[in-house]
Amino acid sequence: MARVRETNDWLLPEELSSGAGPILVLFFDSGRPESRPTARAFAEVAREHSGAFRFLSCDLEENPSVRRDRALDALPAIVLFAEGVEVLRREGAQGRKSISKMLVGKQRKP
């Protein structure tokens, strides 16, 4: 079962450049209640797509520099990275279906 692993401002660049396949990152602010439904949906998608993707989360309340560094205008934000490059971004509240659609056609080829 896939799980969402927490990351921070100093680990995130290393994880994104690891070349370990597509990575979906949830950027959120734990102090804002509107982030909770998106975080739950993100965790559900992580369980559904175990093995094909890596799932990370980054709390911007604890890592405020990431918001500036990644030019995140609205939270929560979900960003898909492939080979360290941002390929798709959705900002604002997202449900399970919306998050799952981000993954279509983005799986690592064997």
Q: Please, what are the domains in the chain? A: 4-78 (3.40.30.10)
> What was the pLDDT predicted at 108?
47
φ, ψ (nearest 5 deg) of residue 27: -105, 125
The string over 92-104, giving b where at least 16 C-beta atoms fall within 10 Å of a residue's C-beta and e elsewhere, is eebebeebeebbe
pTM, to two decimals: 0.90
pLDDT at 104 over 70: yes
> What was the pLDDT predicted at 105?
62
* Percentage of residues of the chain with pLDDT beyond 70: 93
Q: What is the pLDDT of residues 75-102, one digit of tens each?
A: 999 999 998 899 999 999 999 999 999 9
Q: What is the pLDDT of residues 19-38, one digit of tens each?
A: 778 999 999 999 888 899 99
